[in-house]
Chains A and B, each alone.
Chain A
Amino acid sequence: MRAVTQADPAKSAGSAGPLAHRRPLGDRGFQLLALVAGLLVLIILVLIAVTTAQQSTTWFTTAGFKGIFSTDWDPGASKFGAMAFVYGTVISSVIALIIAVPVSVGLALLLTEVVPRRWARPIVYVIDLLAVVPSVVWGLWGILVFVPWLQPIYVSIASGVNGVPVLDTLFGGHNVQGAAFFTAGVILAVMITPIITSLSREVIATVPAIDREGAYALGATRWEMIRGAVWPHSQGGVVGAVLVGLGRAMGETIAVALVIGGSPEVTGHLFYPGHSVAAVIALEFGEATGGEFRAALIGLGLVLFVLTIIVNLAARAIVERSARRMRGA
């Protein structure tokens, strides 16, 4: 014991070089493992991008820039425009976020700030159970139970807003169907709520107790404490949690495929059937005939990949800017 404590400082006093050589096997093994794991992620990503790009070249060369950025999808006439699907993916994800974010952040605040910990635990379990339900179950429930239930509601809303300027464009129209953009958005909202909730809850729980107590000591109410002490501290993390949810919503395939209606249209009517990038790949790949159809579907995978990267970069920029502003304040 004594020999060891004396020997160590003596040897490390030599130079930094020999120290690296002397590192035990476990450390070197761990370093290697971490390096491999890190590189593997990058390699897999690059390989996916390369193979999908390779297999979809026919689409890019035949359809051209104009063909890809059109909304016309008609495989019978060899027209493979991607934009109707991109639109559907974005719209259904945005609807999902509009519904899920307030609910999730509210739930996270409820669990950390309002409810005593003894009661919070069972609530957390129930919310986490939502995340365990497989997406195909959400889709089947959606198409068999939720869609037939929503159909008459949509129809009555549509007749109610008939003629009202903005509302008529969003919720009106003569082609209102149960399987629609909005239905997909609602199902996605339910699916991403547990993710955003549990990640936000973790972030909010890291707010130092001294900040909260400080706010109370200055005479703040609970709401003022949350706004002044909790929110600035956890803002960035909550946005991060929302991003994870958004990523899930944009990539969700089978649940959306079953409830979005399967009609590649670009329309402001949220109760009209639409389509999404992931859903069209899943639905049409099986019987896709001929080189370009198949290439277009693989190319749509690449489009989704790029779309996700753009959204993530944009959101990261927002988080960083708000973090900088907070430090400045």
Chain B
Amino acid sequence: MHLRRRPQVLTVGGALVAMALSLAACSSSSSSTPPSGSSSSGSGSAPAGGSSSSAAAASGTINAAGSTFQTNFQQTAIQAFKQSNPSITVNYDPVGSGTGRSDLYKNTVLFAGSDSPIPSKEASEVPSGKTVLYFPVQIGPIAIAYNLPGIKGLKLDPAVLAQIFQGQITSWNNSAITALNPGVSLPSTAITLAVRSDSSGTTQNFSDYLVMAAGSAWKLGTSSTIKWPSTAHEANGGNGVAQAVKSTSGAIGYVDFSTATASGLEAASIKNSAGQYVAPSSSAATAAASQVTPKSDLTFVTVDQGGASSYPITYQSWDLVYAKQPNANDANLLKAYLGYLLGQGQSLLSQLNLAPLPASIDSMAKAQLSQITS
């Protein structure tokens, strides 16, 4: 009797272990703390103790976290950087701008990627006595992707865009849209909105754009999470939105240009403040950024810039670094890697359907590298 019962008990035990494992897997996949390799900012100095004789070439590990918008660029740049600097390891954890900044304040990363400057609400969280340096690293367009079979080069202006995303225009043959697209026969298909369900720098910058360009016509405000009309299809991540647009006829959504291109989606041309309709592209994004006059701390706003060839919904991302590093090696590591991102690294951006910084901003950022000290 006892012998016959035992295997069954084991089975249940196995099931419980499996349950625990799957629960653990669940919790780690949704955890927001960097999973590995980001123990402390001091980790860069540990291996340096042995090789301090070769002072010029820093070696060690840079742990960084932040913006998901930078993921592709950082991963590509880390691979390329590793080839010329085999003694430096860079880990970039795409946990989101907000979490990245919070990690920087808690000193668990050496730099944080962020799609916006530190918001005023958050200023009190920056440790006192620390100066944060902003290094702009990349520019990129937000595409207004749509799914209307057979219709290419749809034209939209900020006011109509605001009305569409507020659920006020509900079908494609609405007179406001047809007026902008003479000669195009738009179907009577209902408009399905595809938006982000997660908080996102893309949402933040898209709503910033609508606030600036559409003015009082845009009533939903600006934030990393917007209270969309309840009819909107909310999807997780840029890929989720692209998937939703792709699978629904009559859908429209805002996604990174790189994601839209990878999913083969059509993107609308948007009327910029110079009155021109411009389609999203790498060069149109750089054109928009070249109109920008950055502040002395190198923060700036790229959305809704003038210039005939500027794509108006263009945004940017920074790497945030403390000016004063705890030791010389960390400072050298950061100078080497950020110097690479601002130098050779910029040439990697166009192939990723992102855009390089205009030369003027790039040279200012390079000059700022000398402010990283120990």
A residues engaging B (CB < 8 A)? 73-77, 121, 124-125, 128, 131-136, 143-144, 148, 175, 177, 179, 194-195, 198, 202, 205, 248, 252-255, 257-258, 261-265, 272-273, 278, 281-294
Contacts and interface: CB of A to CB of B under 8 A. Distances in A.
Contact of A289 (B32, B95, B224, B233): B224
Contacts of B329: none
Interface of B: 8, 11-12, 14-15, 18-19, 21-23, 25-27, 29-30, 32, 68, 95-99, 102, 116, 119, 121-122, 124-125, 197-201, 203-204, 207, 220-228, 230-236, 240, 243, 247
Contact of B225 (A75, A143, A177, A248): A75
B252 to A, nearest CB: 16
A136 B121 contact: no
Given A148-B247, A289-B119, A290-B119, A134 B198 contact: no
A254 B30 contact: yes
A273 B224 CA distance: 20
Which of B30, B201, B207, B221 has the most chain A CB atoms closer than 10 A to its own CB?
A: B30
B253 to A, nearest CB: 13
A248 B27 CA distance: 12
B224 A288 contact: yes
A274 to B, nearest CB: 10
A185 B234 CA distance: 18
B204 A287 contact: yes
A285 B32 contact: yes
Contacts of A125: 11
Nearest to B125: A291
A132 B230 CA distance: 35
A285 B98 contact: yes
Nearest to A144: B243
B15 A131 contact: yes
A202 B13 CA distance: 11
B96 A175 contact: no
Nearest to B23: A248
Contacts of B235: 262
A287 B200 contact: yes
Nearest to B120: A290
A205 B220 CA distance: 58
Given A135-B29, A278-B30, 6 more contacts: A131-B18, A254-B30, A257-B197, A285-B96, A288-B224, A294-B98
A261 B98 contact: no
B122 A75 contact: no
A284 B230 contact: no
Nearest to A127: B15
Which of A133, A143, A281, A290 has the most chain B CB atoms closer than 10 A to its own CB?
A: A290
B142 to A, nearest CB: 15
B25 A135 contact: yes
Chain A residues touching B, majority SS: helix
Contacts of B223: 74-77, 289
Given A254-B30, A258-B236, A263-B234, A286 B198 contact: yes
Contact of B236 (A121, A281, A283): A283
A291 B230 contact: no
Given A76-B223, A148-B247, A287 B98 contact: yes
Contacts of A265: 230
Contacts of A134: 22, 25-26, 29
22 contacts: A74-B221, A76-B207, A77-B223, A124-B11, A134-B22, A134-B26, A136-B25, A136-B26, A198-B12, A248-B23, A255-B26, A257-B197, A258-B236, A261-B233, A263-B228, A283-B198, A283-B236, A284-B198, A286-B96, A289-B223, A290-B122, A294-B102
Contact of A273 (B27, B95, B203, B234): B234
Contacts of A252: 26
Contacts of B12: 198, 202
B124 to A, nearest CB: 7
Contacts of A195: 19
B121 A291 contact: yes
A173 B222 CA distance: 30
Nearest 10 CB-CB pairings of A with B: A286-B96, A262-B197, A290-B121, A76-B223, A262-B234, A76-B221, A287-B199, A283-B198, A284-B199, A74-B227
A293 B121 CA distance: 10
Contacts of B99: 285-288
B92 to A, nearest CB: 14
A77 B220 CA distance: 9
Given A286-B199, A289-B121, A253 B30 contact: yes
B199 A128 contact: no
B170 to A, nearest CB: 11
A131 B12 CA distance: 11
A122 to B, nearest CB: 11
A329 B243 CA distance: 59
A204 to B, nearest CB: 12
B208 to A, nearest CB: 11
A183 to B, nearest CB: 13
A143 B197 CA distance: 13
Given A76-B227, A285-B96, A289-B116, A135 B22 contact: yes
Contact of A133 (B22, B29, B121, B199): B22
Which of A265, A282, A289 has the most chain B CB atoms closer than 10 A to its own CB?
A: A289
B360 to A, nearest CB: 28
Contacts of B119: 289-290
Given A77-B221, A287-B97, A263 B230 contact: yes
B201 A287 contact: yes
A22 B232 CA distance: 72
Contacts of B225: 75-76, 284, 287
A289 B228 CA distance: 18
A175 B197 CA distance: 17
B26 A135 contact: yes
A76 B99 CA distance: 18
Nearest to A73: B227
A207 B173 CA distance: 68
